[in-house]
A and B are shown apart, each in its own frame.
Chain A
Amino acid sequence: MEYIIMIIGAVLVNNIILVQFLGICPFLGVSSKVNTALGMGAAVTFVMALATLVTSLMQKYVLEPLSITYLQTIVFILVIASLVQMVEIMLKKVSPSLYRALGVFLPLITTNCAVLGVAINVTQQTIIPGHGFSVIDNTLYAIAIAIGFTLAITIFAGLREQLELVEIPKGMKGVPIALITAGILAMAFMGFANLV
């Protein structure tokens, strides 16, 4: 039960894009078509789960025992950058079709603040009350957050496909109207605020 509440909270109530403002760049950049949005969502889910798993292990077994948590930022960003590179190389060899589907998004994910943001966030808060710092909980939380990311980016891509057909003032075209649409979408997500 507590896991279900955690997942609903991560996907809807604390949606990473519309409530926490992480990962706005891919949200605005690659959300013009539903298919690309789904591809980006899948890539982010994969990397975020893997990155949070590895960084949580690093935090628990390397940084804390040696009491060098002040190196957290440097260590985490290096882990994420090398992880993305490794995933890219492995995908190219193991599954070329998946690589073709996700490949273009992978380099973008290194500088996606959502991945680093979640990795740092899980070290600062307990995911499920009473469990303490648990690597498995953190990884599940990262997957749930990534599902929330995919949900938001896919809904938004659907809206933007329609938006391209509408006539709007010149200065509003592109990013400004996208941001205002996102604002209205964020208002809709506010409806989930007291769900859990």
Chain B
Amino acid sequence: MSNSKLNILTKGFFKENPTLILVLGCCPTLAVTTSVVNALGMGAATTFVLLMSNMLISALKNVIPDKVRIPSYIVIIATFVSMIDLLIQGFLPSLSASLGVFIPLIVVNCIVLGRAEAFANKNTVFDSLLDGLGMGIGFTIALTLIGGIREILGSGSFLGFQLIPAEYNMLIFVLAPGAFLVFGFVMAAVRYIVNKREEKKKHCAAE
């Protein structure tokens, strides 16, 4: 795999992380990160939709007329979302119950439509596949990070294993305010690191 292909894949992990840097797809980030399992499930479902819709849209980019491209993208995305929704309902009913309405809401997740519009309709099928996979993994990383912090602080467990006795748990972190607070602090930390890195780069370039 050449360097530029690798770059397409990995840019979503950190440098252009859809959630923490580009601030897209905030609703599921806040709503489903009460535990690591939910975060991973949501991340996997979104990655599937991103990957498939990016591939199909890229393959059809010369067929879809420019004027009706947004409705066409929405139909393509909604098809894959319905597929994954039914699959999760069938095979993982407990995950389906805890994610609830947020699985069908992947349709209106700005990340999916954003990648279709910004990347898939200009690039080759393989590049779009890598981009969708990278962005999906970046989204999953962000969700898992926030989900992990919330689960450890809020219910004292990680992936269901009890780490901290129940009487020391801070319930607020699994409730609504905790979602906003953890997301805010994680985003601030990531921005601080990214700023530091860029300053360093500039510093090196100046020398």
Which residues of A are at the interface with B, using a C-beta cutoff of 8 A? 18-25, 28, 70-74, 77-78, 81, 110-113, 116-117, 120-121, 124, 169-172, 175-180, 182-184, 186-187, 189-190
Contact = CB atoms under 8 A, between A and B. Distances in A.
A25 B113 CA distance: 14
A171 B184 contact: no
Nearest to B187: A176
A175 B82 contact: no
B97 to A, nearest CB: 11
| Secondary structure type dominating chain A contacts | helix
A23 B172 CA distance: 22
Contact of B191 (A110, A120, A176): A176
A116 B187 contact: no
A18 B27 CA distance: 11
B107 interface: yes
Contact of A183 (B78, B110, B184): B184
Given A18-B176, A179-B184, A24 B30 contact: yes
7 contacts: A25-B110, A73-B78, A73-B82, A77-B74, A81-B74, A171-B189, A179-B187
A172 B74 CA distance: 34
Contacts of A116: 104-105, 107-108
Task: Name, among B27, B31, B195, the residue most crowded by chain A CB atoms within 10 Å (CB to CB).
Answer: B27
Contact of B176 (A19, A28, A71, A112): A19
B181 interface: yes
Pick the 10 closest A-B CB pairs, nearest first: A183-B180, A179-B184, A171-B192, A176-B188, A21-B31, A180-B184, A183-B181, A24-B26, A186-B177, A74-B78
B31 A171 contact: no
Given A116-B105, A120-B104, A171-B192, A70 B180 contact: no
A25 B27 contact: yes
B195 A124 contact: no
Contacts, number: 112
B49 to A, nearest CB: 11
- Chain B CB count within 10 A is highest, among A23, A70, A121, for A70
A186 B180 contact: yes
Contact of A112 (B79, B108, B172): B108
A23 B110 CA distance: 11
A97 to B, nearest CB: 27
Interface string B11-48: 00000000000010011001100000000000000000
A99 to B, nearest CB: 21
Nearest to B24: A25
B176 A121 contact: no
A121 B185 contact: no
Most chain-B Cβ atoms within 10 A of its Cβ — which of A110, A113, A182, A186? Answer: A113
Given A25-B26, A113-B108, A180 B180 contact: yes
A184 B75 contact: no
Contacts of B31: 20-22
A25 to B, nearest CB: 6
Contact of B79 (A20, A74, A172, A177): A74
A134 to B, nearest CB: 20
